[in-house]
């Protein structure tokens, strides 16, 4: 960042926010129709899993098409290296570590994690006249009790935070109960029977439904539901689809249609199934005649998983077969390193986002709500805080240079270790005491990582984070961790102090 007297502290932040407030006026011409918006949030998709990001053993032509027609980001980050915190941040514009859930991940039967009355992507767009739909993995809690009662109406949930309809899973596709939920109800209930969970394993039967959810069918079912939402949209009302596929999260369960189709085993097959699912959504947009007026974001909730018990996993097999799940990045899901937080992100909006372009801007999934607000000319009121979200619409539209457009990006590991990124440098904070993993989480295991020490990396020169520069650049560590402390203290990223240049 460039240090100038009038662009430090509050003044710099005020200038940045003022500039962002103008972006809506050039994001959509006056009188132009509102764009449809589709967010595709893959589950554990690694930075190197797509052929448009360098994969050689996996083919992803449908996703590659979005990159060809739009913009590919090379430095986009999940707010956490595990799913629930990233999904909360994406939906609310607020880092999840500002809540009571400081680290870890929600259990499948947790209560609704989004606070009552908090603005979300869905509720904001519904205010703008959008029909809003959520299809796929939710994993942000359902109900108000400490544990979800599957035999009661499943509320509050997605419908109470702004969605007009919901079809999907409470959490991961292997989690019990093996059910689908539609709006507030379990699908295919057996009349008069209670839903009972007979064990913790995915192989155990869920009682009380006529057909328990089948892992190998789940991804295709959700893709068809997403397409049906698009095809059922009214011609005189824009729609927002939040589509959260299950792929390629564990267990790796590709449908038989995709088994053996990649060059790196079942994991690659599952990623290719994800590409098929994306193709189903693209096809629905084309049949509806709305592809050209749809803003599509495709990304992942965290980096790809590269660890497992004894190395005997589909991911381990893919790595041995030459596939680089997270490309050249260090490690993966759960960890504080780039493999855990840096994710593929593709934005496509024909006629608005320049086709076949690439951006190295450092951005975060938490930025989506402010970006979409600008795209539809929505103005947040004083109660709609979106504390950590910055609009990157000027970047999408090709109207911004390489100057950083947002405050330093923060990510947190599963165990609560913070990293902060500003310009070329990244610091990993050493904490005196890590947050206690909540009671429902298993004890920390080795492959979650225990990277709690002072670290500094120059990612421009060392993308794989091989050389810790702490001894050579303690000044960078002190500067970045001071900013981190400030952002945590202030409860917002909107007025960060950047008075010291890197």
The residues annotated as belonging to the active site are 83, 139
* Whole-angstrom distance, CA of residue 107 vs CA of residue 257: 31
Q: Do residues 416 and 100 lie in contact, with contact meaning Cβ atoms separated by under 8 Å?
A: no
Q: What b/e string do you get for 442-472 counting C-beta neighbours within 10 Å, with b at 16 or more?
A: eeeeebbbebbeebbbbbeeeebbeeebbee
Burial class (CB in 10 A: 0-12, 13-18, 19+), 75: middle
The residue among 346, 333, 490, 360 whose CA lies nearest residue 421 is 360
User: CB atoms < 10 A from the CB of 257, how many?
Assistant: 12
Burial class (CB in 10 A: 0-12, 13-18, 19+), 377: middle
* Whole-angstrom distance, CA of residue 483 vs CA of residue 225: 44
The residue among 417, 278, 273, 407 whose CA lies nearest residue 340 is 417
DSSP state of 76: E
Strand, coil or helix: 121: helix
Strand, coil or helix: 12: helix
Helix axes 368-375, 83-92, angle to 10 degrees: 30
Alpha-helical (H) ranges within 232-264 are none
Residue 134 tokens, joined: 């959520």
* Whole-angstrom distance, CA of residue 211 vs CA of residue 180: 10
The residue among 425, 429, 501, 434 whose CA lies nearest residue 465 is 425
Query: Any idea which residue has 């970045």 for tokens?
Result: 480
* Whole-angstrom distance, CA of residue 357 vs CA of residue 341: 22
The residue among 103, 40, 38, 41 whose CA lies nearest residue 301 is 41
HSE (side-chain half, CA atoms, 13 Å) at 370:
29
Which H or E run contains 485?
A: helix 474-490
């Amino acid at each position: 960042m460039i240090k100038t007297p009038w662009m430090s502290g509050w003044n710099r932040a005020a200038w940045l926010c003022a500039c962002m407030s103008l972006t809506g006026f050039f994001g959509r011409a006056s009188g132009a129709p509102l764009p449809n918006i589709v967010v595709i949030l893959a589950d554990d998709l690694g930075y190197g899993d797509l052929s448009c990001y360098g994969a050689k053993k996996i083919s992803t032509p449908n996703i590659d098409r979005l990159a060809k027609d739009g913009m590919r980001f090379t430095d986009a980050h999940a707010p956490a290296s595990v799913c629930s915190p990233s999904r909360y941040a994406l939906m609310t514009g607020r880092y999840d570590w500002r809540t009571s859930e400081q680290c870890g991940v929600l259990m499948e039967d947790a209560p609704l994690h989004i606070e009552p009355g908090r603005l979300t992507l869905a509720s904001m767009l519904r205010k703008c006249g959008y029909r809003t739909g959520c299809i796929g993995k939710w994993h942000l809690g359902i109900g108000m009790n400490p544990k979800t009662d599957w035999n009661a109406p499943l509320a509050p949930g997605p419908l109470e935070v702004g969605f007009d309809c919901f079809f999907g899973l409470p959490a991961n596709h292997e989690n019990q109960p093996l059910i689908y939920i539609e709006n507030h109800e379990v699908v295919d209930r057996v009349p008069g029977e209670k839903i009972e969970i007979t064990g913790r394993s995915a192989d155990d039967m869920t009682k009380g439904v006529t057909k328990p959810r089948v892992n190998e069918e789940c991804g295709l079912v959700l893709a068809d539901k997403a397409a049906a939402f698009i095809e059922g949209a009214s011609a005189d009302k824009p729609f927002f689809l939040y589509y959260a596929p299950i792929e390629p999260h564990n267990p790796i369960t590709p449908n038989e249609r995709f088994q053996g189709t990649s060059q790196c085993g079942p994991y690659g097959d599952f990623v290719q199934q994800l590409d098929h699912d994306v193709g189903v959504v693209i096809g629905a947009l084309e049949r509806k005649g709305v592809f050209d007026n749809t803003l599509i974001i495709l990304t992942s909730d965290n980096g790809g998983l590269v660890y497992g018990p004894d190395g005997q996993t589909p991911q381990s097999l893919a790595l041995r077969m030459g596939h680089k799940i997270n490309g050249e990045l260090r490690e993966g899901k759960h960890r504080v390193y780039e493999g855990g937080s840096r994710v593929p992100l593709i934005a496509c909006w024909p006629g608005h986002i320049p086709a076949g372009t690439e951006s190295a801007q450092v951005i975060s999934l938490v930025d989506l709500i402010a970006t979409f607000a600008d795209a539809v000319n929505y103005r947040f009121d004083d109660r709609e805080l979106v504390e950590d979200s910055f609009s990157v619409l000027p970047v999408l539209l090709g109207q911004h240079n390489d100057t950083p457009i947002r405050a330093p990006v923060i990510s947190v590991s599963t165990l609560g270790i913070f990293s902060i990124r500003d310009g070329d440098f990244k610091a990993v904070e050493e904490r005196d005491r890590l947050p206690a993993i909540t009671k429902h989480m298993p004890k920390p295991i080795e492959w979650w990582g225990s990277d709690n020490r002072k670290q500094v990396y120059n990612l421009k020169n060392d993308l794989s984070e091989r050389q810790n520069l702490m001894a050579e650049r303690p000044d960078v560590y002190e500067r970045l961790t001071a900013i981190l402390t400030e952002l945590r203290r202030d409860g917002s990223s909107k007025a960060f102090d950047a008075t010291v240049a890197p």
